[in-house]
A and B are shown apart, each in its own frame.
Chain A
Amino acid sequence: MSEILECVGVGKRFGGVHALSDVNFTVTPGEIVGIGGPNGAGKTTLLEVITGLTPGSSGRVEFAGTDITGRTPEQVFCLGLARVFQSAAVFPSLTVFENVLAGVVYKGASKPRTPLTYRESDLEATRAAIDLVGLSDKADEVVEHLPILDRKLVTIASAICGKPKMLLLDEPVGGLTPPEIELLKEVLFKLKAHGITMLIIEHVMQFMSAMVDRVMILDAGRIIFNGAFNDMIRDVEVMRVYLGEQAAARLRESFAG
C-alpha cells in the first residue's frame, strides 16, 4: 500500500444539496497536491470530511493504512494528519509560543503524561517549529495583535510541531501580498524538503504552479480534473467552469516555456 491518503466514493449532503459526490482520489507519500475550483465547489467541505469535523454522508477515507472514516478531529490529528484553517485560525489570547505548544502537548493524548509539567521534548519541538517558520523573535507576543502573515505562520508552526505525516492547507496564501506569498512559499518548501505530504487548497495560480506536483479541480462537489498543472491550464472543462478563457490563456503564456 503506497498511498498515504485515499478517498473512496466520498459524498456529503446538506439536506438536498450535494456538497460532495463520489469523490475518489489518492495521495502518495511526499506528494504535494493542489486543489482548485470555483467558490462553493466543496473544497473546504472535503477537508472537513477528511478531518472528521463534519462527518461524510457516504464513502470511506483512509490515512496511512488506517480507516479514519467517522473519526473525531482530535483522533485524526493524533494520527498525524494536521489541518491549517483558511481563516488563519489561532488562539488569540495566547502567545506565539503557547499557540505552537498547544499543537504538540496533546498530540499523543493516549500516552500517559503528567498533566502539570511540560515535557522537554515538547518544548524543544515547539522552539524548532517556531524557528522553522521564522518567528523566533516574536515567540512571546500575544497572537491577537500580530499581522495576518504571522498568524498564518503560527498556525502552520502549530500544525507541524507535532511532526505530522501530512498537512491539509486551506488557502494558505489567501489575503497575502506578493512578497508575503514568497515568504510563505519558502516555508512550505522547507516542509517539502522534510518530506511532509501536503494537500493545498488555493486560488492563487502562480503559487499553485510553483508548489504542486499535481492538481485536482473540483466543481459542484465532483472532481473534474486530476493531473499535472500544465495539462490543467489546457483543459477545456476547467477553463469553462473555473479559470475562464482569458485567465487560462494568460497562464498558458506564462507557463508555456
Chain B
Amino acid sequence: MKKESYIVLPILAVLCIALPLFYGDRYVIGQATVALIWATVALNWNLVFSMAGVFSLAQLAFFAVGGYTLAVLNGHFGISTWIALPVAGLVTMMVGMLSGAACLRLRGAYVALLTLALSQALYLLIVTDTACFRTEGGNCIPFTGGSRGLSRYEDFGFREFLPYPVSHIGDYGLAAALLIVSLFVAILVSRSPFGLGFRSIRDNEQYARARGLNRFRFQLSVFAISAAFTGMAGALYAGHFRVMGPNVLRLDVMLFVFAMIVVGGGLKIWGPLLGAAIITVLREVSVSFDSWQPTILGGIMLVVILLAPQGVSGLLALVDPRQRAGSRLERRKREGI
C-alpha cells in the first residue's frame, strides 16, 4: 500500500451525504447502511492483509465478538447501546491482540488455517450453547443466544430523539461516520512512521529487522486497530438489525466480504470500499437468482483473480501513466525479461 492521500475522505463524505438527499428511499438507505458496515469490515480486513502482510481469516470472528458484546451488554445487563458500542470496540481489540499474539508467530498459510479454525470454533461454541443464562417469559435464553441468536435488546434509539425524516437515517449516519473515521485512521497510519514501519516489514522483513523494526510488535498493532473498528462495525450491525446470530460466522458471509476486497483490489486503501459498492449493487441486481448467489460471487472472484489480480482499483490505477510505467517494469521483472 502506497502512502495514501487524504483526498478520498471528502469524496466519501460527499457521497455519504448525497445518497439520502437524492435517494431517501427507506429500502435504499437500509441496504446502504449494511453496505457501509461491510465496507468498514473489508477496509480493516485489508489493512491486515496489505499493511501487516498477514493472511488472517479471523476478521468475521472479530465482527461477531463486537456484535455479541453489544447484544449481551444491552440484552442481559441493560447497558445502553451507546456505551456498548465503544466497549465492543475495546473488547474486540483485546480479543484481536490475543489471537494476534497466538497467530503471529506463524507465517502465511499457517496463519490462514489457524484463524479459520479459531472462528469456526467460536461458531460451534455459540451454536451448541444451550445452558440457560436467564429466562424471560418462560423462555430460556443462553448467554450467546445459541443457534437462534440474541434478539431481545435495544437499537440505537434514533426514533426517540430525532424527528421523523431524519430518524430513519440515524443508523445510516452512524455507519457512515464509523467508516469515515476508520478510513481516516487507516490513512493517518499509512502516512505516519508507523505506516512506514509496516510497509518496510512487508517489503523485506529481514532487512527491516536489521534496521530496528520488530515485526511482531507492528503486526500486533495492526491487528489491534483493525479488530477495534471491525468490532464496532459488528456492534453497529447488531444494533441496526436488533438480532445477533452465529450466521455471520458462516463461510458464505466470509466469501461475501472477501469478494469486496478481491473485486475492489487491496493495493489501494479505498479499493475495498469500491468493492463493497460493486458487490452490493451486484447483489441487488441479481436478487432474483438468490439461490445461486455464492456461485455468482465465486465466479466473479475467479474472473477477477485470473484477469485483474489487483481488482478494479488496480485497473483504475492503470489509467494513471506514471503507475503504468511502474507496473510494466514490475511485470517485466517478474517474468524475468
Contact = CB atoms under 8 A, between A and B. Distances in A.
Are A and B close enough to touch in the complex, i.e. CB under 8 Å? yes
Interface string B163-200: 00000000000000000000000001100111011011
B206 interface: yes
Nearest to A158: B211
B208 interface: yes
B212 interface: yes
B209 A53 contact: yes
A115 B194 contact: yes
A98 B207 contact: no
Overall SS of chain B's interface:
helix
Nearest to B188: A116
A51 interface: yes
Contacts of A98: 3, 196, 199
A224 to B, nearest CB: 28
Interface string A113-129: 10111100000000000
Given A83-B210, A102-B213, A107-B212, A91 B200 contact: yes
A183 interface: no
Interface stretch (A10-18, A32-40, A69-77): A69-77
Contacts of A118: 192-193
Interface string B93-133: 00000000000000000000000000000000000000000
Given A91-B203, A91-B204, A105 B196 contact: yes
B105 to A, nearest CB: 14
Contacts of A142: 326
Q: Which of A51, A106, A115, A144 has the most CB of B within 10 A?
A: A106
A90 interface: yes
Contact of B199 (A53, A83, A94, A159): A94
B203 A77 contact: no
Q: Which of B3, B203, B209, B210 has the most CB of A within 10 A?
A: B210
A92 interface: yes
B214 interface: yes
Interface residues of A, number: 36
Interface in A98-150: 98, 101-103, 105-107, 109, 113, 115-118, 142, 144-145
B192 A101 contact: no
B213 A74 contact: yes
A83 B207 CA distance: 9
A93 B210 contact: no
Contact of B210 (A53, A92, A109, A115): A53
Contact of A93 (B2, B193, B208): B2
A213 to B, nearest CB: 25
A92 B194 contact: no
A162 interface: yes
A115 B196 CA distance: 10
B282 to A, nearest CB: 31
A89 interface: yes
B330 interface: yes
Interface in B1-52: 2-3
A115 B209 contact: no
A106 B213 contact: yes
B215 to A, nearest CB: 9
A49 interface: no
B203 A94 contact: yes
Interface string A38-53: 0000000000000101
Contacts of A101: 196
Contacts of A82: 210-211
Contact of B206 (A53, A93, A109, A159): A53
A86 to B, nearest CB: 11
Interface in B275-298: none
B194 A73 contact: no
18 contacts: A53-B209, A73-B210, A77-B209, A82-B211, A85-B207, A90-B204, A94-B200, A102-B196, A102-B200, A106-B213, A106-B214, A107-B211, A109-B212, A109-B214, A113-B193, A115-B194, A116-B188, A162-B212
Given A94-B199, A94-B203, A109-B214, 17 more contacts: A73-B206, A73-B210, A74-B209, A89-B207, A90-B203, A90-B204, A91-B208, A93-B2, A93-B199, A93-B203, A101-B196, A102-B196, A102-B200, A106-B197, A106-B211, A107-B212, A155-B207
Interface of A: 51, 53, 72-74, 77-78, 82-83, 85, 89-94, 98, 101-103, 105-107, 109, 113, 115-118, 142, 144-145, 155, 158-159, 162
